[in-house]
Amino acid sequence: MLSLQAYEQRVASLKMLHPELPDQAVTLVRMIGFLQRRLEDALQARLADRQLTHSQWALLMLIYSDPAQCIHPSCASEVLRQSRPHMTRMTDELVARGWVERVREDNDRRTVKIRLLPAGQAAIDSLLPVMWQRYEQLTGGIAEDEVRGLDRLLRQWLLALESSGGEGLEGTKQ
């Protein structure tokens, strides 16, 4: 995997070839990608001893956070940004473990939801303190006011991307 430093060196080389290259914007967007992968790897490492993937954990938490602890797979797929075939595989694995079940809607037998089972609830209960600690460790090197500032900036960036349909942030710079 290419390190951030190596990536920045390549961007600098490109900047020499193309002086108009928005190197800071290119690097920032790429840095977010590097950060996302590193965070997922760090969270995955904490889940590995339970033979649980980060995606499965995210699915369990999505179901757990629903008031009925039951969710449509298509909704989960959209929220977690996972393909429907991948969502089916993850659900199959969690069903095999006895942590969730697929249930049909009474009024429409074609509609399926994923529901949390007591064994899944117990797994979540045992993992929550471990995962909370990990999240705190992952942000522990940043001062609390900086975390709040980063949160504000990332929300602003995400909202701008969502409102522009991902096309760009024209007119949002001050």
Pure H helices in the chain: 4-17, 23-47, 54-65, 73-80, 84-96, 118-139, 144-163
State the pTM of this model: 0.80
Interatomic CA distance for residues 2 and 38, integer angstroms: 12
In whole numbers, what is the pLDDT of the chain averaged over residues?
A: 89
Band of residue 172 on the pLDDT scale cut at 50, 70, 90: very low
pLDDT of residue 102: 95
Overall average pLDDT of the 41-58 stretch: 93
